[in-house]
């Protein structure tokens, strides 16, 4: 949109000022904490249990596992939240006519394949049985930090 920015008679393409009513863009759930995380997880759970799984939740097998406590797997929560955000963007009001097809092609398939991969986040889970994923071990929390100071010398015995 063109605007006379400084009253000079010159029209430029200036970005629109955000309105106080504009909501900030949603953040990925792994960046949220406390009540904001809990509310977002609840909304994600409702979408997952009432839309995603009834429509797209295929049978659980050893080659396509699903955890009945998926919300206890941070990787699954993060991927499902990203899928839900894309759902809202591509299938909600104002989305283009190709939005739903793009969501299916670009988001649904890859995310569900990743989650339900036999070596994915639900690898150790069986129907009715949740098993927390073991995090791979790491030797150093920050391998590029300065080395720790040397330990103090032992007390001398006189």
Q: Radius of gyration over alpha carbons of the chain, in Å?
A: 24
- Distance (Å, whole) CA 114 – CA 66: 11
The pTM (predicted TM-score) of the whole model is 0.73
- Distance (Å, whole) CA 53 – CA 10: 55
- Distance (Å, whole) CA 136 – CA 123: 14
| Residues β-bridged to residue 64 | 61
3-class DSSP state of 129: strand
- Distance (Å, whole) CA 133 – CA 117: 14
3-class DSSP state of 91: helix
Per residue in 98-149, pLDDT (tens digit) is 999 999 999 999 999 999 999 999 998 988 888 888 888 888 778 888 888 8
Per residue in 29-50, pLDDT (tens digit) is 999 999 999 999 999 999 999 9
Looking at the chain, the whole-number percentage of residues with pLDDT higher than 70 is 84
């Amino acid at each position: 949109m063109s605007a006379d920015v400084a009253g000079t008679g010159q029209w430029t393409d200036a970005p629109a000022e955000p309105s106080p009513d504009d909501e900030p863009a949603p953040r990925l759930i792994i960046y949220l904490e406390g009540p904001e995380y809990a509310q977002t997880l609840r909304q994600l759970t409702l979408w997952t249990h009432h839309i995603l799984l009834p429509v797209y939740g295929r049978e659980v097998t050893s080659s396509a596992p699903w955890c009945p406590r998926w919300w206890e797997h941070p990787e699954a929560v993060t991927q499902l939240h990203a899928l839900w955000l894309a759902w809202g963007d591509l299938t909600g009001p104002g989305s283009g006519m190709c939005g739903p097809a793009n969501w299916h092609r670009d988001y649904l398939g890859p995310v569900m394949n990743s989650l339900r991969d036999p070596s994915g986040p639900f690898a150790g889970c069986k129907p009715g049985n949740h098993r927390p994923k073991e995090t791979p071990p790491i030797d150093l929390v920050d391998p590029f930090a300065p080395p720790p100071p040397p330990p103090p010398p032992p007390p001398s015995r006189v």
